[in-house]
Each structure stands twice: as structure tokens, then as C-alpha cells.
Structure 1
Amino acid sequence: METKRYTVKQIAAAAADIKQGELIAFPTETVYGLGADATNPEAVKKVYAAKGRPSDNPLIVHVASVETVARYAATLSPKFKQLVETFWPGSLTIILPLKPNALASVVTGGLKTAAFRMPDNQVTLDLIQAAGVPLVGPSANTSGKPSPTTADHVLHDLNGKIAGVLDDGPTGIGLESTVIDLSVATPVILRPGVVTQEAIERVIGPIMADHHQVGASEIPKAPGMKYKHYAPNAQVYIIDQPAQFNEAIQWATEQNVPFGVMAVDDILTNQTTVRFKDQFSLGDSVVSASRHLFDGLRYFDLNPEVKIILVQGFTMVGVGVAYMNRLEKSAGQKHFQ
């Protein structure tokens, strides 16, 4: 199969592929998603096959209107409506109880709930409307690898496996959406993102956070809770404090293997002797670091000689919670000591 690169002027052609049961990667403000008709079980099965994704890992359903959610969800609570009014379109995914048999089990992972999101990207909203159906949309990458933030990243992993990618340039946020579960008595954040717990609580009151790793026999309610995620080929080590970088670089040098460094500009420019194989700038703050984290991990994947990547950690406050959630998974929880 030849994977086509569609421009933003070719939305109709991309939508036609989706109507035919094909897979189209689409842009969002977070990462690129791998789109298929959420009402077509055979098309959805192709998503799992293309990604190599475990079949019990549920998919997020992307919509262009709240009316579409109402078609499938059993109830739309006042808290749902408050969140939608505040954060949609945007980087918040909401898990809701479903009407009986509203969506195929291949979409829900066999659960009686489903996750819904309205992305803040007009190109993809237009694609959904043109296709006339909601789209499943896990990250458009090989399962377990860093999520794609450009069309080139998508093609690196899935070229020849999907019908096309709708190219709208680099994504603006770079980390997947926050996932909140409204199907339980007290809402729970299952995956942190740039929509923070504090921001949500200002709208609907107290909520909980649950970022635990799901056990082998448990079905996850949201992506990223059970399986290996975001891992490049090289081993990532988290550097918790900027003052540790000199010691970490010395240690990595002594390993006698090529290594790389990902950090903010101040840290990179303060390394007077370049003793590492390569470097990647995370910008000037945790916000820019979040935007470029996956891009940096993929940058080093293009250089298979690199065996170690030293990556700057940030305090787990605000967007730092989401950044560290992804970074710790990419590192397998390994911190430089």
C-alpha cells in the first residue's frame, strides 16, 4: 500500500478513504492520531494491526460536536456539560458510560464506557464532518514508541501500513490529552495532560488522580495505563536537577557508548566541553519541553548509534505532571542517581 500525504486542501479525499474503511492519520493540537471510522469494526481492527496495539487497549473517539457524543453516551451529566463548555474543543478526553451496544467492543476494549474528545484542530474537525462519522484516534505510531508530532513521524512508523496522513505541520502541544473518567461517582484523572487537575477542579470541584500502572489481568479504561509507552531505542535516564548534568555526562562518557542530551538551552550552552554524541534543545521551559519531548526522543531514534539519552526532568507541578508522566514511562522509571 502506498501511504499518501494529503494536504489541508485534500480533506475530501482523506474523508473518502475513511468512508471506504481505510486508515488516515490526522493532526490534532496534541499529537497525530490514527483515524478510522469508529462505527466500522473492521476498520477499527486495522488500527490495532497497523500499530501492533494490544486489543484490550481502548480507543479514544474523536468527534466534531457534542450532539455526536449524545448519540452514544448513556447520560451527559452537568459536570460533562461544564467541562465541554470550558475545555472543548481542546486537550481533554472524557470517559462516559455508553448506551447498550452503542459502540463495538473493539473500540471500547470490552468496557461499558468510552472516551470522547473534540480536538482543537479545524482541519481534523472538518475531516470528521466530511467523513460523517466519529473517528477512533490513538496516536499514529508503532505501539510503544514515542508519539508522533509531525506527519514525518507518522510516515517513519506507518508508511505502507495506512492509506494516508493529513499533514497540518507540527502539533502545538506535543503531549496527549488529559483523560478524565466521569463514569464513576468521583471524577478521576487517568492520564495527565496540559489541562491540569487544578484547572478542572476550578470548573467542577474536587476530583482524584489515578496514574497507576494497570495489572496484567485488568482492562485499562484509558490509553497509557498498562503497556510500555513512549520508549525510544536508546535507554533514557532522567536528570532530576540541572546541577546533576555534569556528573551524568561524566558517567555516560565512561560507559564508552555514544550518548545524547535533551535539556533546555541554558543547560546545553553551559556545557563548555561537548563530550556527548549529540544534543536536542527542549527550549526554555517545561511548556516548550513538553512540546518537544517526543520530537527529541524520535530525533535520537534516527541515530541508532546512540545508546543512552540523558533527559532533563522538571518539578511535578502544572504541565510538569504530564511531562514527567511521559518521561518516566519512556525511561522505564530510570533516574540518574
Structure 2
Amino acid sequence: MGQKLETAAQRLLAGGLVAFPTETVYGLGADAENPAAIARIYQAKGRPSNHPVIVHIAPGADLGYWAQNVPDAARILAQAFWPGPLTLILPRAPGIPDTVSGGQDSIGLRCPSHPIAQALLQRFAELKGGQGGVAAPSANKFGQVSPTQAKHVRNEFPEFDETDLLVLEGGSSQVGIESTIVDLSRLDQGTGPVLLRPGHITAEELAAVLGVMPALPDQAAPRVSGSLKAHYAPRTPLALVERSRLDAVLATAASRGERLAVVVFPPASEIATQQEGVTWHECSPDRVEYARRLYALLRRLDQQGYDHIVMERPPATAAWQAVNDRLGRAAAAFE
């Protein structure tokens, strides 16, 4: 990995694209201070130019280089959760191009915990003179299911070879869903911390550190990654269904001669039948394990020619907020 890691860092320095593993999902990275390189990310993903990306920084990076105001709350959260799956939205420093924030005055910063991501970021920062950062949304076409394995990235961008997109191998992502995003950019306006995207780090865990529960998104909140109503969607239509409604959904599918993949919590034997055209998949009842496997499962089912993917709705509890957020946006793409 040593030589490939060096090649990847040099590729970023030259304005190229590198896909790399993080503990959440694989990212599609470019030099965060190079507008032309960032434009290549948007072009490759088919991403709207006003949709921000997150800047990944190495452990120990100077937040003041990227943000013009770093409140105590940001340092407290960074101390508690970095390196890890938490993104902080802060006021963007004047010298940082607004291409990373979709033209907004804010910036999203994250320090990932994956060792390969850290090694890449540290080497790139050295090449940049100490403060390099990598802008990196998920390494997939815009709105589609995020990749949690290197092969997912290659499958997503078959038009690219290694000269166009260098992909670093890092195994399966351990968290499996995108980072928690907290807005701290408006504290000087009297707006407290705002949870803009739930993730592995829960609102309750944030509150335990901050001493206040983060508020829900408001109309004036900055735009952030993954905040559109329809997102994270497979290409196969996906429906999110209560367990009590599964029989009716199956009956309708049978009347239409449709092939279904049905994903339910155990025990599947309570509801599973031998209905023709239905393949049953039992998911983990543990929310961490469920999240870790979710995107790989959706990608696998997406390749098997089903007419619909039917997911049993997870519990409507705080612990499952992030998973419900991702599944809700995936299903919204087909409403």
C-alpha cells in the first residue's frame, strides 16, 4: 500500500481524483483548495454544483485554517468524536474556495478514523505544506447508494480506469452509513447546534458532550450532503413497509406477477411463505450491524433483476434515526 498511497497523494496534488476508504463509506476525493479538481468530482458524480461536499482533514489539522471562527463547541466535539464519523459545519475561512460549500459561507469538516484515509490525508498535507484537505463526497453517482467496498466504486464508474480514478483498497466500511452532520456555523447569531444529518453518532451522544440537545434542521440551515428528500436510492424501486402491511404488499405483487426481494427482521419464519417470485432476506436486529451491511445489501439486490425491493420499516426510535433517515430518502425516490 505504501507506493500506491504515495501515488494517490501525488495524484491529488496534481488535481486528479482518488477514491479512498473511510469508516463511513468510500469517498471520491480531490484537493479541497483546487476548484478545477473539485469540479471533476461534480462532473464524475453528476452532482449539482450548489450541493456542498465535505472536506476531510488529517488528525491534528488546524481548524482555524479552514474556518474563520472555531467555537468552543466545535473543539469540544472534535475532542470527543474525532477521528470518527462526525462532520462539523463551520463558517468558511475567506481563503478557502466556495466550490466545496456549493457557494455558501460555511464549510463541512471531518477527520475520518480509517487508517488508510488518515495516512492519505497526512501525506497529502505534507505535500501541501502542512494544511492540505481532501474534498470527498461518497464515491457514487449522485443520489445513488453509497459504496462501502472498493469494488462498489469500480462498478459505479466503469468509464474510468486507474489513470482517471485511482481507487485505494480498504476493506468494507465499518460504520456503513454517512457521517453525522452538526451545524455550528450560526452560534454567533443565537442559533445553537443543529443536527442536519443523523448518523452513527446519535443526537443523545452529542447532547451528552455539548450539554444541550441539538435542534432539528430549520429553514435557514446551510445545505449539506445527503439532505435532499430523495437520496441513497438503488435503481430498483424500493418500498418501506410496516410488518403488518407485508401480506397486502405480497398479494398485490403476486397479482401482477412481480419478483420481489423482501428484507425483514427476524424471525422471518413468522411471515415467510413459499410465494413464487419472492426471495426473503433476514436483516440484523442490531442497528449498528444493520447500518454496516445496509448499502452492500441494497447494491447486491439491485443487481438481481427484482421488480421491487421491500424493506420492513425499522423501529421508530432514536437509536434507529440514521437508518430510518437513509431508508426514507431511498424510498422517496420512488414515491
SS at match of 1:331: helix
Distance 1:183 1:110, change over 3 A: same
Q: Write the mapping of 1:124-203 to structure 2, written as runs, cut at 5 A.
A: 124-132=117-125, 133-161=132-160, 162-184=164-186, 185-203=191-209
Q: Write the mapping of 1:279-290 to structure 2, written as runs, cut at 5 A.
A: 279-290=280-291
Residue 241 of structure 2 is aligned with which of 239, 242, 262?
239
Report the CA distance between 1:265 and its aligned residue.
Answer: 4.4
Distance 1:334 1:107, change over 3 A: closer
Question: What residue ranges of structure 1 are gaps of 5+ in the alignment?
Answer: 1-6
Q: Does 1:61 align with 2:38?
A: no
Q: Does 1:248 align with 2:255?
A: no
TM-score (norm 1): 0.88
SS at match of 1:262: strand
Q: What is the rounded CA distance, in whole Å, between the counterparts of 2:215 and 2:316 in structure 1? A: 13
Q: What is the rounded CA distance, in whole Å, between the counterparts of 1:207 and 1:147 in structure 2? A: 28
Structure 1's consecutive aligned runs of 4 or more residues displaced over 4 angstroms after TM superposition are none
Q: Which amino acid in 1 is paired with 2:211? A: G
Report the CA distance between 1:66 and its aligned residue.
Answer: 4.1
Q: What is the rounded CA distance, in whole Å, between the counterparts of 2:333 and 2:269 in structure 1? A: 23
**Greater mean deviation of Cα atoms: 130-139 or 48-57:** 130-139
Q: Does 1:222 align with 2:228?
A: no
Report the CA distance between 1:276 and its aligned residue.
Answer: 3.6
Q: 1:172-213: CA deviations, max 9, x gaps? A: 11110000000123110000001111100011122334357x
Q: What is the rounded CA distance, in whole Å, between the counterparts of 1:86 and 1:276 in structure 2? A: 49
Report the CA distance between 1:62 and its aligned residue.
Answer: 0.2
Distance 1:130 1:65, change over 3 A: same
Distance 1:81 1:152, change over 3 A: same
Q: Write the mapping of 1:58-97 to structure 2, written as runs, cut at 5 A.
A: 58-97=52-91
Distance 1:333 1:99, change over 3 A: closer
Report the CA distance between 1:87 and its aligned residue.
Answer: 0.5
SS at match of 1:237: strand
Q: Check whether the contact 2:260–2:308 (CA below 8 A) recurs between aligned residues.
A: yes
SS at match of 1:67: coil
Partner of 2:331: 331
Report the CA distance between 1:270 and its aligned residue.
Answer: 5.3
Q: What is the rounded CA distance, in whole Å, between the counterparts of 1:118 and 1:268 in structure 2? A: 43
Q: Does 1:109 align with 2:109?
A: no
Q: Check whether the contact 2:195–2:203 (CA below 8 A) recurs between aligned residues.
A: yes
Q: Which amino acid in 1 is paired with 2:39? A: K
Q: What is the rounded CA distance, in whole Å, between the counterparts of 1:66 and 1:145 in structure 2? A: 33
Q: 1:250-284: CA deviations, max 9, x gaps? A: 33222312111122342268524253443444233
Q: 1:90-117: CA deviations, max 9, x gaps? A: 11100001222x2112111111110000
Report the CA distance between 1:123 and its aligned residue.
Answer: 0.7
Partner of 1:41: 35
Partner of 1:4: none
Percent identical among aligned pairs is 32
Q: Check whether the contact 2:233–2:333 (CA below 8 A) recurs between aligned residues.
A: no
Q: What is the rounded CA distance, in whole Å, between the counterparts of 2:196 and 2:299 in structure 1? A: 25
Report the CA distance between 1:13 and its aligned residue.
Answer: 1.6
Report the CA distance between 1:43 and its aligned residue.
Answer: 0.6
Q: Which amino acid in 2 is paired with 1:240? A: E
Partner of 2:272: 271
Distance 1:9 1:62, change over 3 A: same
Question: What residue ranges of structure 2 are gaps of 5+ in the alignment?
Answer: 126-131
Q: What is the rounded CA distance, in whole Å, between the counterparts of 1:122 and 1:285 in structure 2? A: 25
Q: Which amino acid in 1 is paired with 2:307? A: K
Q: What is the rounded CA distance, in whole Å, between the counterparts of 1:41 and 1:323 in structure 2? A: 33
SS at match of 2:226: coil
Distance 1:142 1:282, change over 3 A: same
Q: Which amino acid in 2 is paired with 1:206? A: V
Q: Check whether the contact 1:57–1:219 (CA below 8 A) recurs between aligned residues.
A: no
| Alignment root-mean-square deviation, CA | 2.2
Q: 1:280-326: CA deviations, max 9, x gaps? A: 442332222211221122112212x3121110211232341000101
